[in-house]
Amino acid sequence: MERIRKWVVKHNTTCHFVFESEDFRLQHPDEWKRVTDSIGHPVGMDAALVSYLHRWRLYWTSVFRNDMIPQIRDNLHLNQVLDEDHVARTAIYSDTPPYIPANTEGIMMTRYVTVKRARNTQSIRDGTGLVRKRAAITELEAYERPRIQELERILGFKGEGG
């Protein structure tokens, strides 16, 4: 990343950059120091501000500042991107910083957890990554993993039916 950025800037001094990553400062402190020494400290943002899922990301950029972080889009609701036979589940816990407070324990979720479909991820084991099957009132509530097409829509891709 550093070599490419330096090469581009050498050949185009007016070029801007944006790099995105997860927060790796605890797992890789030496690399973190190298990156921040080279291009500065990142701006952090929860994707739930502007999308259907929580995903904390860091951005290093020459064109973005903390005061440019968007306000939460309250008109987004997880049910908008689920298939008709699925409903957002009741939140098992309330969101805590650095995540925006989109989900409140005991109330239907409006944002999805970080998207992973693997069977053994924490969000599947603890149930937060499951959606409720729409069923008749007399039936017991049942939960399952979202379908691939639903996950694509949660991520912002216009999949089948999106």
Tell me: the pLDDT tens digits for 58-106? Answer: 988 888 777 777 788 888 999 999 999 999 999 999 999 888 899 999 9
Q: How confident is the model at residue 22 (pLDDT cuts 50, 70, 90)?
A: confident
Going by their DSSP bridges, the two strands 131-133 and 86-87 should be labelled as antiparallel
Output the six-digit token pair for 57: 């990301």
- The Cα–Cα gap between 95 and 6 comes to 39
- The Cα–Cα gap between 54 and 37 comes to 28
Q: How confident is the model at residue 1 (pLDDT cuts 50, 70, 90)?
A: confident
Instruction: Report the pLDDT value the prediction gives residue 162, as an integer from 0 to 100.
Output: 43
Q: Record the pTM.
A: 0.72
- Asked, for residue 77, whether it belongs to a domain, the answer is no
- The distance in angstroms from the start CA to the end CA of the chain is 35
- Asked, for residue 27, whether it belongs to a domain, the answer is yes
Q: How confident is the model at residue 4 (pLDDT cuts 50, 70, 90)?
A: confident
Q: Domain count of the chain?
A: 1
In order of 6, 31, 41, 93, the CA distances from 2 in angstroms are: 6, 12, 14, 40
Instruction: Report the pLDDT value the prediction gives residue 44, as an integer from 0 to 100.
Output: 87
pLDDT digits (tens, 9 = 90+) for 101-152: 999 999 999 999 876 656 677 787 788 888 999 875 556 778 888 998 998 8
Place of tokens 């729409």: 134
In this structure, what are the phi and psi dihedrals at residue 57, rounded to the nearest 5 degrees?
Answer: -130, 155
- Asked, for residue 63, whether it belongs to a domain, the answer is yes
DSSP state of 81: G
Average pLDDT, the chain: 85
Query: Is the pLDDT reported for residue 28 higher than 90?
Result: yes
Walk across the sheet containing 86-87 and list its strands. Answer: 86-87, 131-133, 143-144
- Asked, for residue 53, whether it belongs to a domain, the answer is yes
Instruction: Report the pLDDT value the prediction gives residue 36, as an integer from 0 to 100.
Output: 92
- Asked, for residue 54, whether it belongs to a domain, the answer is yes
- Asked, for residue 24, whether it belongs to a domain, the answer is yes
The residue range of the domain holding 20 is 2-68
